[in-house]
């Protein structure tokens, strides 16, 4: 039989990172290509304890069908937390629980983007989101990312010239892959431009709680008095990615349609996970847990940056120091073939992610690659960066 595929998926490819994972699965290879939280960051004892309590006290609720919008107690807990701590959420907003933040990318695109419509993104940006947008045949328009956020002139030009722009996608804190944090001035400017051109903002904040230095910058959603920002949060980096828990806080007309789409997509999110997260947020010391996480990642990030200073920087590879998140963006000298460098690294048993994987057009020139420091052990990190340094010394 000739299998007929829809136009929207014909050009859709598995993420380049997935392909790299095939090499990374070899235990002799040091993988700096993943984005997994450090295993020691999981509150295993607490989750086991909560799960046990749920199955003792309320097992049917944890196993039966639940509602599409999410477990009411968790919606309340997250809503209160985000309002109290970050001033996110207004009366015109609604909060729903999703199957990971990834599902928000899917649902909001389904609900607001026609095939051929445009989504503006940072360039580079998170490949998982870009692929979700692509799966609805959206046109992606990448705006160059500078050390303090998107180039504002390019953004305004895109808003003026692109047709049917539906939203601006931004990871404002410790962006994946670049590590960039958008400055407050640029956040305000982006907000004003979105308002001026009647375009929504999709603010994705998976790493916001993982700041290791400097001061928190208010999220764009925190000054959204006009109902133009959809804010996306995730439990993947602060509790467990395997649970697949995320949420969106956005104006009701948008969220209402996302709920209908979610009904047709997975009915509701695994309810056991929602109950565990709720109890963890409300009956345990959630803030102490976050402090512990930040301590884990502060140590790992600082160790990684020391290694980069020692092995890569003297060999012509530069990087922008980070204030949080899980990734560091390393840049090769201009004119060097980055993909060739990454392939040579694989031959020497170190995996990093070639930077062009994160571009809206993967065939564009890119001289950077992404390093992750949360997944490898300290020993693996040191070994991997040493190998990269030796390679750089030889070929750059």
- Positions in 319-358 near a copy of itself (CB under 8 A): none
Region binding a copy of itself by CB under 8 A among candidate stretches 96-104, 168-176, 295-303, 320-328:
96-104
CB 251 → a copy of itself: shortest distance, Å? 7
Q: Which residues, numbered 106-135, are part of the site for a copy of itself (CB under 8 A)?
A: 106, 110-115, 117, 128, 131-132, 134-135
- The DSSP code for 310 is I
Stretch 134-173 residues interacting with a copy of itself (CB under 8 A) = 134-135, 166
Residue 133, Cβ density class (10 Å: 0-12 exposed, 13-18 middle, ≥19 buried): buried
Least CB distance to a copy of itself at residue 246 (A): 9
Question: Binding marks (x or -) toward a copy of itself, 65..84, rule CB under 8 A?
Answer: xx-x----------------
253 contributes a contact to a copy of itself by CB under 8 A: yes
Rule CB under 8 A: choose which of 190, 210, 238, 259 binds a copy of itself. 259
318, 346 in Cβ contact below 8 A? no
Which residues ranging from 279 to 318 are in contact with a copy of itself (CB under 8 A)? none
By CB under 8 A, is residue 361 in contact with a copy of itself?
A: no
Residue 37 within binding range of a copy of itself, rule CB under 8 A: yes
Least Å distance, CB 39 to a copy of itself, is 5
Q: Out of 26, 52, 72, 291, which residue is the one contacting a copy of itself (CB under 8 A)?
A: 52
Closest listed residue to residue 204, CA positions, set 237, 169, 178, 238:
169
Q: How many CA atoms lie within 13 A of 137 on its CB side?
A: 8
Q: How far is the CB of 214 from a copy of itself (least distance, A)?
A: 28
* Continuous H helices in 162-251: 184-196
257 lies in the site for a copy of itself, by CB under 8 A: yes
Q: Considering the complex, what minimum distance in angstroms separates the CB of residue 324 from a copy of itself?
A: 20
Binding residue for a copy of itself, selected from 267, 283, 320, 339, defined by CB under 8 A? 267
Contacts of 139 (CB under 8 A, 6+ apart): 116, 117, 118, 119, 162
For the chain, what is the radius of gyration of the CA atoms? 21
**Tokens at 192, concatenated:** 């004003």
Tokens of 156: 């305004």
Query: Which 3-state string (H, E, C) describes 77-133?
Result: HHHHHHHHHHCCCCCCEEEEEECCHHHHHHHHHHHHCCCCCEEEEEECCCHHHHHHH
């Amino acid at each position: 039989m000739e299998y007929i595929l829809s136009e929207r998926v014909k050009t859709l490819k598995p993420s380049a990172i997935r392909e790299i994972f095939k090499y990374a699965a070899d235990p002799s290879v040091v993988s700096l290509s993943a984005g997994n939280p450090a295993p020691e960051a999981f509150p295993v004892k607490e989750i086991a304890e909560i799960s046990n309590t749920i199955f003792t006290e309320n097992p049917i609720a944890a196993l039966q069908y639940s509602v599409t919008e999410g477990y009411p107690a968790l919606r309340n807990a997250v809503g209160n937390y985000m309002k109290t701590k970050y001033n996110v959420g207004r009366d015109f907003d609604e909060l729903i629980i999703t199957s990971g933040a990834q599902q928000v990318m899917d649902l909001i695109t389904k609900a607001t983007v026609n095939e051929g419509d445009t989504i503006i993104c940072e360039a580079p940006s998170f490949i998982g989101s870009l692929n979700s947008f692509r799966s609805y045949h959206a046109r992606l328009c990448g705006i160059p990312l500078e050390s303090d956020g998107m180039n504002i002139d390019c953004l305004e030009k895109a808003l003026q010239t692109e047709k049917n722009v539906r939203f601006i996608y931004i990871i404002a804190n410790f962006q994946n892959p670049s590590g960039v944090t958008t400055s407050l001035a640029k956040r305000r400017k982006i907000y004003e431009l979105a308002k001026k051109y009647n375009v929504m903002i999709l603010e994705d904040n998976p790493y916001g709680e993982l700041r290791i230095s400097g001061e928190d910058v208010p999220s764009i959603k925190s000054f959204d008095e006009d109902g133009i920002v959809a804010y996306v949060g995730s439990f993947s980096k602060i509790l467990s990615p395997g649970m697949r828990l995320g949420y969106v806080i956005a104006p009701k007309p948008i969220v209402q349609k996302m709920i209908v789409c979610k009904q047709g997509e997975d009915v509701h999110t695994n309810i056991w996970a929602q109950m565990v997260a709720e109890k963890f947020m409300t009956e345990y010391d959630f803030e102490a847990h976050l402090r512990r996480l930040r301590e884990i990642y502060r140590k790992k990030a600082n160790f990684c940056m020391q290694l980069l200073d020692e092995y890569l920087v003297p060999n012509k590879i530069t990087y922008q120091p980070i204030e949080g998140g899980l990734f560091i963006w390393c840049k090769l000298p201009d004119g060097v073939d980055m993909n060739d460098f990454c392939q040579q690294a694989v031959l020497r048993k170190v995996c990093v992610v070639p930077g062009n994987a994160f571009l809206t057009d993967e065939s564009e020139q890119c001289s950077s690659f992404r390093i992750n420091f949360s997944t490898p052990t300290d020993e693996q990190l040191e070994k991997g960066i040493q190998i990269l340094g030796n390679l750089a010394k030889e070929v750059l």
